[in-house]
Structure 1
Amino acid sequence: MPALPSPRRVQGTYYVLTLGNTLAASFIWGINTLFLLDAGLTNLEAFAANAFYTVGVLLFEIPTGVVADTLGRRASYLLGTLTLAVTTVLYWLLWVWESPFWAWALVSVLLGLGFTFFTGAVDAWLVDALQAAGYEGSLETVFGRSLIVSGAAMLSGSVLGGFIAQVTDLGVPFLIRAGVLLAMIVVAGLLMRDLGFQPDRSEGPIRATRTVLRASWRHGLGNAPVRWLLLASPFTAGVGFYVFYALQPHLLELWGDPNAYTVAGLAAALLSGASMLGGAIAPLVRRLFRHRTSTILLATVMSIVVLVALGLVQDFWVAIGLVALWGVMSAIDDPVHRAYLNDLIPSKQRATVLSFDSLLGSAGSTAFQPALGRSADIGGYGFSLLLSGAISAVAVPFVLLSRAQHDPADTQRDVDAEAPVPTDRPPTTGTAVPTERPGSTD
Structure 2
Amino acid sequence: MSQARHVQRTYLLLTLLSTLASSFIWGINTLFLLDAGLSNAEAFAVNAFFTAGQVLFEIPTGVVADTWGRRASYLLGTATLLVSTLIYVAMWQIRAPLWGWAIASILIGLGFTFFSGATEAWLVDALTFCGVGETFESVLARGQIVSGTAMLIGSVAGGVVAQMSNLGVPYVLRSVLLGVTMAVAFVSMKDLGFTPERGKGPLDRVRMVVRGSLDHGLRNPPARWLMLAAPFTMGVSIFAFYALQPYLLQLYGDTRAFWIAGLAAAVVAGCEIAAGLLVPSVRRLFSRRTHALLAAMVISAGCLAVIGWTTHFWVAIVALVVSALAQSASRPMKQAYLNGVIPSGQRATVLSFDNLMGSAGGVVVQPALGRVADIGGYGSAYLVGAVIQAAAVPFLLLARREAAPADRIEK
Whether TM exceeds 0.5 here: the answer is yes
Residue 63 of structure 1 pairs with residue 60 of structure 2: yes
CA-CA distance at 1:348 after TM superposition: 0.6
Larger deviation: 13-22 or 248-257?
A: 248-257
Deviates more, 1:296-305 or 1:311-320: 311-320
Residue of structure 2 equivalent to 1:301: 298
Contact 1:274–1:331, Cα closer than 8 Å, also in 2: yes
C-alpha change, 1:161 and 1:316, in structure 2 (3 Å) is closer
Within 5 Å, which residues of 2 pair with 1:226-241? 226-241=223-238
**1:267-306 Cα shifts (integer Å, max 9, x gaps):** 2221111111112112210122221111111111221222
**1:389 aligns to 2:378 (yes or no):** no
Aligned 1:5-20 pairs, distance under 5 A: 5-20=2-17
Q: Counterparts of 2:94 and 2:110 in 1: how far apart (Å)?
A: 23
User: Cα distance, 1:101 vs. partner?
Assistant: 4.7
The equivalences for 1:10-409 within 5 A come to 10-36=7-33, 46-96=43-93, 101-409=98-406
8 Å CA contact retained: 1:300, 1:333: no
Decide whether aligned partners of structure 1 residues 190 and 168 sit closer, same or farther in structure 2, where only a CA change above 3 A counts.
same
Partner-residue secondary structure (3-state), 2:402: coil
Structure whose CA Rg is larger: 1
How many Å apart are 1:395 and its aligned residue? Answer: 1.2
How far 1:51 sits from its partner (Å)?
A: 3.1
The alignment's TM-score, normalised by the length of structure 1, stands at: 0.86
Distance 1:254 1:12, change over 3 A: same
Q: What amino acid is aligned across from residue 326 of structure 1 in structure 2? A: S
Distance 1:412 1:193, change over 3 A: farther
Equivalents in 2 of 1:37, 1:377: separation in Å? 13
Task: Summarize deviations over 1:170-198 as a string: whole Å, max 9, x none.
Answer: 44332322221121122111211111111
TM-score with structure 2 length normalisation?
0.92
C-alpha displacement at 1:260, in angstroms?
4.7
Identical-pair percentage: 55
For these two proteins, the number of residue pairs brought into alignment is 411
For the structure 1 residues 367 and 288, does the alpha-carbon distance in structure 2 shift closer, same or farther, using more than 3 Å as the test? same
- Runs of at least 5 residues in structure 1 that lack an aligned partner in the other structure: 417-442
Confirm or deny: 8 A CA contact 1:84 1:115 kept in the other structure: yes
Instruction: Identify, as 1 or 2, the structure richer in helix.
Output: 2
Q: Report if the CA contact (8 A) 2:229-2:392 is conserved.
A: yes
